[in-house]
Amino acid sequence: MHKSLKRSEDIVRSLKRFFEVNCKTIDGIIETFNNSIGQGFILKTFQSYDKSNDLVIWIFESLKDKNIQVGYGNHSNLDEYNNWIDKNNVNFKYYPIVADVKKEIVLNIYDNIKKYYDLNEEIEMPKKINI
């Protein structure tokens, strides 16, 4: 497994554990993708089951820039290989590869999903988060 996929897998595993506790109103699946920009994982969320509305999140390490990228789009911009069809319809956020970046990414994705779906769930914060 390439180290860029390993970093993405660590983030997705933490994200999955975090969402199992803190975001129970959203259904979703996690799959892989591989394109010319990077390889990583995609989180397909479902709340309304509407392709033009439900959120898709790509999580990967850019092979060119050596940073972690999180892209936000919807199911209508998704091809059969889990790649985006039109990059201009994906909002990207870039993270440097540093020690605590995983925790920051997980919390940012959670916040973005809450805002996107207008959720009012309160996060159950333990004294220490092991992500």
Tens-place pLDDT, residues 74-94: 999 999 999 999 999 999 999
pLDDT of residue 65: 81
pLDDT of residue 77: 93
Tell whether 73 is covered by a domain.
yes
Tell whether 126 is covered by a domain.
no
pLDDT of residue 119: 75
pLDDT of residue 2: 67
pLDDT of residue 130: 54
pLDDT tens digits for range 105-114 = 999 999 998 8
8-state DSSP, 85: S
Tell whether 45 is covered by a domain.
yes
**pTM for this one?**
0.84
Q: How many folded domains does the chain comprise?
A: 1
For every residue of 14-59, DSSP letters joined together read HHHHHHHHH-TT-EEEEEEEE-SSEEEEEEEEESS--TTTSEEEEE
Tell whether 105 is covered by a domain.
yes
Tell whether 23 is covered by a domain.
yes
In the chain the first and final C-alpha atoms are separated, in Å, by 21
Domain membership of residue 79 as a residue range? 3-116
Tell whether 37 is covered by a domain.
yes
In the block, tokens 């333990």 appear at 126
Tell whether 122 is covered by a domain.
no
pLDDT of residue 95: 95
Q: Which residues of the chain have pLDDT under 50?
A: 123-127
Tell whether 110 is covered by a domain.
yes
pLDDT of residue 43: 94
Please give the C-alpha separations between residue 84 and each of 1, 73, 98, 122, in angstroms, as whole numbers.
23, 8, 27, 31
pLDDT of residue 127: 45
8-state DSSP, 115: H
The pair of three-digit structure tokens given for residue 100, joined into one six-digit string? 């605590």
